[in-house]
């Protein structure tokens, strides 16, 4: 999964021509470590259809604040620069896919 920063968030996520799943996480967050392998599975399964990236909220507090990230992990689906869906908490792959509407 690609790591994005405050500096390249607009280019990588908001200007993407395909949907982007953003994992808002932090190094100190245990559940974030649990959800990482599930997101890796989504990145492989949806390769070419969806981009999966991660954003460390400790390194990008203004981005986290802009999108109202109050707890992590929060996984957001961005389409055409807008948040279309969010899943909060460590969940299995199928729950994330369903919560984000990727299976429709």
32 catalytic? Reply is: yes
What does the alpha-carbon distance between residue 75 and residue 29 come to, in Å, rounded to a whole number? 14
**Catalytic position from the list 4, 12, 29, 50:** 29
Cα separation of 37 and 14, whole Å? Answer: 24
Candidate list 21, 32, 55, 90, residue with the active-site label: 32
Query: Does residue 88 have an active-site annotation?
Result: no
Query: How far apart (Å, rounded) are the C-alpha atoms in residues 10 and 47?
Result: 21
Residues with catalytic annotation? 29, 32
């Amino acid at each position: 999964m690609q790591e994005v920063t405050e500096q390249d968030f607009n280019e990588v996520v908001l200007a993407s021509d395909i949907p982007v799943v953003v994992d808002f996480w932090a190094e100190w967050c245990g559940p974030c470590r649990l959800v990482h392998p599930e997101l890796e599975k989504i990145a492989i399964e949806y390769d070419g259809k969806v981009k999966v990236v991660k954003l460390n909220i400790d390194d990008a507090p203004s981005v986290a604040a802009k999108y109202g990230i109050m707890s992590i992990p929060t996984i957001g689906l961005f389409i055409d620069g807008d948040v279309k869906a969010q899943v909060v908490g460590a969940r299995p792959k199928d729950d994330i896919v369903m919560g984000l509407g990727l299976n429709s």
